[in-house]
Structure 1
Amino acid sequence: MDICEAVSSIQNKNKINVRGYLMVKDKKRNNSYYWYCEKRDQLRCNGRATTMFTEDQHHLPVQIIQSVLAGSSQEIGSHLPSRDALRQAVKRVRRANLPAEPQSFANLIIPDNLQKTLSNSEFLIRDLNIDPPQIQLTSINDYTSPEQVVLEIGQLRNSNEKEDIKNKSLLKIEEQRKEMEEYLAEMNLK
């Protein structure tokens, strides 16, 4: 298993660098992305790569430090801060690239770039204000129309049902936000 690096291309195509070879995104199936060699047509290169997303997407700071140190000369090691200081530096960089965590549901704002799925389907269906709580309805399935969801919520009779929907929506949004952040982190697009 290799650590791949996302590379930006002039034609705005997703590319990764695997051991110095540039790979272009071919297709996606389930949690796997398939890549082919950039020189496929010119050199008839049949090189291929597959990236698979699992629950543990992010490398621990220790793993990042070890991979960097493995590719460096021993002379550099004596001039570096302690491993704890390096680990904290990695964490600070990661935190700086993350959006601020909302302190309440009312403060939850989904940026425009996260309102669509990778297949360009609508992710954020509606941003509703029902009584005091705000509810953002999301879906990654094209079979539920926004009107159906709004109608179902409008038919709720008591505040407990509204609270249940709010809590379920929050959990779903959090799960989907984490999945999106993991994907973006993997692709270095964040």
Structure 2
Amino acid sequence: QDTSGAEDNATFSLAVRYDEGLEIETRGLPDAIVGKTYYARLFARGGDAEDIKWSVICMPVLNDKGELASCRDGLPAGFTLSEDGTISATEPVVGPEADEQGHRAPRTAYSILVEARDEKNRSAVRGLSITIRIDEPLYAPPAEGCGCGSVGAGAAPTVLLALTGVLGLLRRRRS
């Protein structure tokens, strides 16, 4: 209504377009095996998912209290992240360095922060972890000469107990 009291009605159409953000879908990475090459692919959705460029923001370094002390650039030694989201180690993966006593940890996990960015400069960040481990066999055959297949002196009490139980059952049946 205007100042003179005249009214007019009109219908307008308003379209609100939701601009979907970018989200990293990758939740975890496969383990890297010492002595083998490595390949993993990162995935994102939303945004302009066709033209996403990937990068590593940092590899967090924690102090002895488990708090963030600093942030190193890059991935573990020998690993690369290409802009298309491929994490790879084309040379065989090298395990962690030995400690002062010469022991190597059977597995070591490295945390990284990756970023996905599309053409409209929308981005998403996710923390992931790559575990480098030694390929351990599921079954280790016994050492030669262990006598595992024979009944030794240590098994005598168990055998005696089993025989006593069987004799007891036989006596009950006869009575």
Q: TM-score when scaled to structure 2?
A: 0.21
Higher helix share: 1
Higher strand share: 2
Larger radius of gyration: 2
Normalising by structure 1, what TM-score?
0.20
Higher RCO (CA-CA < 8 Å; seq separation 6+): 2
